[in-house]
Amino acid sequence: MAQLTPEEFLDTILVPEKQSDHLCWQCRYLKPVLKGSKFPPADIIGWCKKIHWPHYWCVADFNMVKKCYAFDAKKKA
């Protein structure tokens, strides 16, 4: 069995509420809304853990983000 990194392990057990093609979805700093969570509004896909720390920046699905200074890809090729 292959060893998982901590980020890969969390991706397997923390199921997000919805999928999106948003730029932030590929970023390692996105904290997605978890399935079954009733707190955030319907358009929020998650929070950025790097921008506006310690008060996380809400990421909505309808925001058009083409470039972000805090972006860091989850999977390095």
Tell me what pLDDT residue 71 has.
92
Which residue positions in the chain have pLDDT lower than 70?
1, 53-56, 76-77
Inside any domain, residue 39: yes
Q: Is residue 70 part of a domain?
A: no
One-letter amino acid for residue 64 of the chain: M
Domain coverage including residue 36: 6-60
CB-based burial, 49-70: b 16+ in 10 Å, e otherwise: bbeeeeebebbbeeeeeeeeee
For residue 15, being part of any structural domain is answered with yes
Q: How many CB atoms lie within 10 A of CB 15?
A: 10
Domain count, the chain: 1
Average pLDDT, the chain: 82
Q: What percent of the chain has pLDDT over 90?
A: 4
In a domain, 47, yes or no: yes
Q: Which residue has the tokens 């397997």?
A: 12
The token duo for 39 is 């707190």
The model's pTM is 0.72
Q: Does residue 23 form part of some domain?
A: yes
- Does a structural domain hold residue 43? yes
76 inside domain: no
Alpha carbon distance 22, 13 (integer Å)? 21
What integer pLDDT is reported at residue 2 of this predicted model?
A: 78
**Residue 72 located in a structural domain:** no
